[in-house]
Structure 1
């Protein structure tokens, strides 16, 4: 089982802050999880196909090609700016 969290406007657009999904052999990377979620269509496709999407694995920034394991926590969020 992996925990997926959605932050900022992604949370608002998807209407949920997170979920748990079962990890199976087709899910090897964060990008595999992203593609699975995109296949839901509608808002999922729009949000997770964001070219500037950022992600974290176990609360550390990473890239979409990061390998995942059971009990990992994945977060998706839009880019943030500071000033």
Structure 2
């Protein structure tokens, strides 16, 4: 027959470890990885903002189109702005 110990707690596996015996956490669970990923995220967001700002400074045409000359705004049939001939 099988032997049964008098102490029922002895049958349980002993998983209790002291703090200095615990294994070091994996890199992806460490504080260093969290800090590196935070810096990369903030750098990516800031970098994309800088690229967008450079686009607007260099390439974006902020001139007003002349559509207001062809279709003047009017209130009650009276033009609000001076009407020019569209060329």
TM-score range, shorter chain: under 0.3
Which entry has the higher C-alpha Rg, 1 or 2? Answer: 2
TM-score relative to the length of structure 1: 0.18
Larger relative strand fraction: 1
Q: Which has the higher helix share?
A: 2
TM-score by length of 2: 0.17
